[in-house]
Amino acid sequence: MNFLPIDLTKHKAKAIAFRRDSFIVSFGTDDGFGDPDGYIQWLAQNQEKFPDGFVMVEEDEVLIGQLELSIREYKGEEIGYVHLFYLVPEKRGQGIGIKLDEYARKFFGKHQVAEFHLRVAPSNDQALSFYKKLGMKVIGPEFDGKVIRMKGKV
């Protein structure tokens, strides 16, 4: 398994497709996805700051997932933040997510933060269960209950 920095000349269509699918899995629709060009612009800006945090996941020369990781402030503390933790449907539930989690924790450790956060849809039972198995804890609902913020230790 390889973690490749996102190359927007090669990976643009796949990045959009993966991000859009994450909305469908999380919310049942891609209505909240927004403008693909706006997403690509956001991705390029953040990738410039954290090139090893915005990566495609490759297995046997096939792209099977994507991670979007950064460092941000939350209540006055610097934390790691997972913007996207994505695997294609046929790779979910096979233990591959553990390797993505290991990569993310190494990234956050390198940036010397003690904890990281992510948001998950309350209806995404598979993701909630997975994150809890990784030791993550629920902080609470955000955006009128549309998502749940969770935290994990690095």
Question: What integer pLDDT is reported at residue 129 of this predicted model?
Answer: 93
Question: What integer pLDDT is reported at residue 32 of this predicted model?
Answer: 82
Which residues touch 75 (CB under 8 Å, ≥6 apart)? none
Question: What integer pLDDT is reported at residue 28 of this predicted model?
Answer: 86
The 3-state DSSP class for residue 151 equals strand
| Predicted TM-score (pTM) above 0.85 | yes
Question: What integer pLDDT is reported at residue 31 of this predicted model?
Answer: 85
Number of Cβ within a 10 Å radius of residue 49: 10
Question: What integer pLDDT is reported at residue 12 of this predicted model?
Answer: 97
Tell me which residues of the chain have a pLDDT lower than 70: none
State both tokens at 94.
């096979």
Specify the number of domains making up the chain. 1
CA 132/CA 48 separation, integer angstroms? 31
Looking up residue 112, the CATH number of its domain turns out to be 3.40.630.30
Question: What integer pLDDT is reported at residue 88 of this predicted model?
Answer: 96
Question: What integer pLDDT is reported at residue 119 of this predicted model?
Answer: 95
Domain ranges, residue 34: 2-153
State both tokens at 57.
């996941």
Sign of CA pseudo-dihedral 126, 130, 131, 135:
positive
